[in-house]
Amino acid sequence: MIVKLFWRIASVLLFELMPLHAQDSNPFTVEIDLQDQTAYLIQDGRVVLATPIASGRYGHLTPTGSFKIIEKERNHYSSMYGKIVDARGNTIVADADADMPVPPGGRFVPAPMRYFMRFSGSNGMHAGYLPGYPASHGCVRLPEENAIAFFNAIDVGTRVTVFGRTPRGRYSEESEWMPRGRSPFMDPRSAPPWWWR
């Protein structure tokens, strides 16, 4: 009994210390500002890349706090969100949950989340569509080229700090957090296909 307890405590401590050790060898950290909808890749205390993001919308807010990268996967697919298509492959529900009913012959198609970097529960950073306002189910979407840069720079164990309040607004090009006259960032390569909108 005591031996089992000792090994359980030792394994938990080893699991917790391994990411810290990995962090020591990796000079990068990540900071995500929800208010400004910007993520920062920081190397040795200096910002080396700042990128616009689309964080979680109201009802699916991105969690705030201090985290660590707990998983990286280049070609990840959501197990919870996607679309429902009919037998011919036509989209019938573009913003579907995995537990929604599917018509006979139809199927649920999971949403792609390329360059996925999980940091809290099911939430992570990944390449995705940036409409110019908070729009995700809690993940932090980045333009694909910046998601690749983050993915290549950071390791499992890299510290991630998420702070600020998700801006309220009409969630349009005139959202209150976006300066007037500035169009929302949208890299055409990160825009979803027409059926994903």
Looking at residue 169, what is its pLDDT?
A: 65
Contacts of 77 (CB under 8 A, 6+ apart): 110, 111, 112, 113
Looking at residue 184, what is its pLDDT?
A: 41
Looking at residue 23, what is its pLDDT?
A: 43
DSSP symbols for 26-51: --EEEEEETTTTEEEEEETTEEEEEE
To which CATH superfamily is domain 2-196 assigned?
L,D-transpeptidase catalytic domain-like (2.40.440.10)
- CA 81 – CA 79 distance, rounded (Å): 6
Predicted confidence (pLDDT) per residue in 41-60, tens digit: 999 999 999 999 999 999 88
Tokens of 157: 């164990």
Looking at residue 76, what is its pLDDT?
A: 87
Looking at residue 196, what is its pLDDT?
A: 40
- Site of tokens 């990944």: 126
Predicted confidence (pLDDT) per residue in 4-42, tens digit: 434 444 433 444 444 444 445 779 999 999 999 999 999
Domain boundaries, the chain: 2-196
Contacts of 167 (CB under 8 A, 6+ apart): 34, 35, 37, 133, 134, 175, 176, 177
CA dihedral for 91, 96, 98, 100, sign (positive or negative)? negative
Low-confidence ranges of the chain (pLDDT < 70): 1-24, 169-197
Tokens of 55: 């964080």
Looking at residue 24, what is its pLDDT?
A: 56
